[in-house]
Amino acid sequence: MSMTCWETIQAYGLRSIGIGENLLPRSDFTLCQQFTLIGSGMLWNLYFGLLALIAGFFLANAVALARTARNPLIRKPAEWFVFIFRGSPLFIQFFLAYEALVLLPKGGVDILGIHLNTAWTTRAWAGALLVLFLNTAAYSAEIFHGALKSIPKGDLEAAEAYGLTGWKKFIRIEWPTMLRLGWPAYTNEAIFLFHATTLVFFSGFPAFQQKGDALYYANYFADKTFNPFIPYPIVAFYFILLTLAVTFFYGRVNRHLNRHLPSNIRSRIRLRPQLIR
């Protein structure tokens, strides 16, 4: 049975989320099949990356603020959180989280009379997302904390001279400046978080019914055809596109954050591994 490329796209375009053909191709692997299935897997990379980044952004702001607190009861937990997630490999964090979630009682737990089902937490869409969310929050908190500390003293003094104090000073002066200073490094973090999503299905979390991400399918084809020279360049191609898209979007935000500055002193985004994971 040979399919046209359009039929292949209809059959496998949404295979990674369980829509379309049930069985993966087993023989006569065409280029179209490889492009389609690997592309379909990118849906998972986008899902993990986008949700973890959005949720992680809020937690990162809170943790970065908590790290500047004078009260050690607030500061210390934030410091430990950042230390644990930045100091250990993401790969180990995935394994650890999976083993911990598996140990939750199978039938669910009863808290205050409410029955909570726990089986879903071991699934990648929930468990791996939780790890990625905490992980990116820790890395981003470190970036934002560094940016908070490097706000020019003059800016703060000027704010006080205008009578801004406390929350008002923070929301109008400190927070926007922090974002502006930290944004280039945060762009790198976003790119590497998307890259990190490829680890999910190689680190304990099983791919149920062969519903996996782009690298899962690329690895499937490489295993079946004994030819790594086609599927891996395809998944690399998709990731280069994704990296370009992330750079473009974050570049637009960066321009917005720097819009009040003369063009020669705006901070430009450079891809550099200085401040990243």
Partner 1 sequence: MFEACADPKAIEGLIWAACYLTSAKHVLFYWSFLTVLLLLAITAPAALAMGFVGATAARSHLAPVSWLGKIYIWMVRGVPDIIFFLFFVIALDQVIEYSKSLIVCESHAWPWQGLEFRVCPEAKVPLGKSSAFWHQAYGFMLAVVTFAIVFGAFVANVIFGAMNAVPRAQLETAEAYGMSRGQVFRRVLIPQMWVYALPGLGNLWMILIKATPLLFLLGVKDIVYYARELGGSKTQAYEYPHGDWRLWYFIGLMVFYLVFTRISEIGISRLTKKLSHGQATAGGEALRRARA
Q: Which residues sit at the interface with partner 1, rule CB under 8 A? A: 27, 83-84, 87-93, 95-96, 99-100, 102-103, 194-196, 198-199, 202, 215, 218-219, 222, 224-229, 232, 235-236, 239-240, 243-244, 271-277
Amino acid type, 243: T
**63 vs 242, beta carbon nearer partner 1:** 242
**65 vs 234, beta carbon nearer partner 1:** 234
CB of 274 to partner 1, least distance (A): 5
CB of 236 to partner 1, least distance (A): 4
* DSSP collapsed to 3 states, the chain: CCCCHHHHHHHHCCHHHCCCCCCCCCCCCCHHHHHHHHHHHHHHHHHHHHHHHHHHHHHHHHHHHHHCCCCHHHHHHHHHHHHHHHHCCHHHHHHHHHHHHHCCCCCCEEECCEEECCHHHHCHHHHHHHHHHHHHHHHHHHHHHHHHHCCCHHHHHHHHHCCCCHHHHHHHHHHHHHHHHHHHHHHHHHHHHHHHHHHHHHCCCCCHHHCCCHHHHHHHHHHHHCCCCCHHHHHHHHHHHHHHHHHHHHHHHHHHHCCCCCHHHCCCCCCCCCCCC
Q: How far apart are CA 155 and CA 160, in angstroms?
A: 9
**207 vs 222, beta carbon nearer partner 1:** 222
CB of 53 to partner 1, least distance (A): 16
CB of 34 to partner 1, least distance (A): 14
110 phi and psi, to 5 degrees?
-105, 115
**158 vs 236, beta carbon nearer partner 1:** 236
**65 vs 242, beta carbon nearer partner 1:** 242
Distance in Å from the first CA to the final CA of the chain: 47
**67 vs 173, beta carbon nearer partner 1:** 67
CB of 89 to partner 1, least distance (A): 4
| Spatial CA neighbour of 50 closest among 270, 260, 264, 197 | 197
CB of 159 to partner 1, least distance (A): 25
CB of 162 to partner 1, least distance (A): 30
**12 vs 216, beta carbon nearer partner 1:** 216
